[in-house]
């Protein structure tokens, strides 16, 4: 471990102790309010390009196992914690968090006042920043942070999507094509658990190639960055609308909205955590959901479109669910596969299967 600093683009400095990879790393600073699930967060491709601040004070206390990863490697650009636990106690633990970050070449910093940092991000919005152990001056490092590309300037989906198609599940089951914009493994598992054959294709696969698989249904996965940075996926979904039932999750929700003519915008500090309340407008029921996104659908852009809002965020009334009025297509902004304690959002996968049936 070594002395390290987190420097924001406005020049604010947070001192701490570096752990994990011994290098400098930059990205957009975001915070996650989950009490557990740091391994799922680290390996979620939706965090590509971001440095994640954990608001829960002690991280690493149950170690790392090899079953809960949501992709083949850690995806975050950096990891910020208040207190690092390097003596985990859990029967599933196979590795300490520090060793895991070092193995995956991810920079971490501990000892940071994460409460103060989170309050700053809530007040001022997300910022770019650097984790650095170098002796450079603050002004020089904050300038370097300001020169980092914004998420809206990057096509991060191409960095995390599979490069070639693959399939899993029961060959005799319903055939689902999953457009991989950075899909979490639990999405695939949720479909396989329902006896589906899942064909995972790269995000840049065109509509003709997708239909050549003769799918029964199509899913658009979660993924990182600005939905406006992936117009090629939006165009593909436009062509697929009405041909097969479609289900979009997170980035997939935003892409479906854009494909139907809606607009998106960047949230001030995003929704990232495992305790976000969402109301289903049809039943009135409120679900506690897992979320990870920095962009949302503009509700005022839906006027005159063939889209119906099905879910709203209870905290800020952002659009959390859409349904197409004409075609069998729907989406949610949150993660029904994540099971943040309750599993009551799993019904969405069953609804997708029923649409196909």
253 in catalytic set: no
Q: Considering the candidates 181, 196, 250, 260, report the single residue annotated as catalytic.
A: 250
User: Are the C-beta atoms of 75 and 47 separated by less than 8 Å?
Assistant: yes
335 in catalytic set: yes
Bridge partners of residue 220, in order along the sequence: 179, 248
250 in catalytic set: yes
- Nearest-5° angle of CA 3, CA 104, CA 168? 155
Catalytic residues: 250, 335, 337
């Amino acid at each position: 471990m070594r002395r390290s600093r987190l420097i924001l683009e406005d020049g604010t400095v947070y001192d701490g102790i570096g752990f994990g990879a011994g290098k400098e790393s930059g990205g957009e600073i975001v915070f996650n309010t989950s009490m557990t699930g740091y391994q799922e967060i680290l390996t979620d491709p939706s965090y590509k390009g971001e440095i994640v601040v954990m608001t829960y004070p002690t991280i690493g206390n149950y170690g790392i196992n090899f079953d809960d990863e949501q992709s083949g490697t850690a995806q975050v650009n950096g990891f910020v914690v208040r207190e690092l636990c390097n003596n985990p106690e859990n029967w599933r633990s196979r590795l300490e968090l520090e060793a895991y970050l070092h193995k995956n070449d991810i920079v971490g910093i501990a000892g940071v006042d994460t409460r103060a940092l989170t309050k700053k991000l809530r007040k001022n919005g997300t910022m770019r920043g650097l984790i650095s152990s170098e002796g450079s001056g603050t002004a020089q490092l904050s300038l370097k942070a300001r020169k980092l590309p914004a998420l809206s300037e990057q096509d991060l989906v191409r960095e995390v999507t599979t490069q070639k198609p693959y399939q899993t599940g029961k060959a005799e089951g319903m055939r689902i094509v999953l457009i991989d914009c950075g899909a979490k493994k639990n999405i695939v598992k949720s479909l396989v658990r329902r006896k589906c054959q899942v064909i995972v294709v790269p995000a840049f696969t065109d509509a003709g190639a997708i239909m050549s698989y003769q799918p029964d249904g199509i899913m658009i996965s979660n993924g990182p960055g600005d939905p406006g940075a992936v117009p090629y996926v939006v165009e593909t979904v436009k062509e697929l609308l009405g041909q097969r039932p479609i289900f979009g999750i997170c980035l997939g929700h935003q892409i479906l909205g854009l494909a139907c003519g809606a607009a998106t915008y960047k949230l001030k500090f995003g929704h990232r955590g495992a305790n976000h309340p969402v109301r289903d407008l049809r039943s009135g029921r409120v679900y506690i959901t897992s979320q990870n996104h920095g962009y949302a659908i503009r509700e005022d852009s839906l006027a005159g479109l063939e889209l119906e809002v099905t879910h709203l965020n209870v905290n800020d009334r952002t659009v959390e669910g859409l349904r197409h009025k004409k075609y069998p297509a729907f989406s949610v902004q949150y993660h029904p596969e994540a099971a943040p304690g309750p599993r009551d959002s799993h019904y969405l996968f069953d609804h997708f299967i029923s649409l196909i049936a």
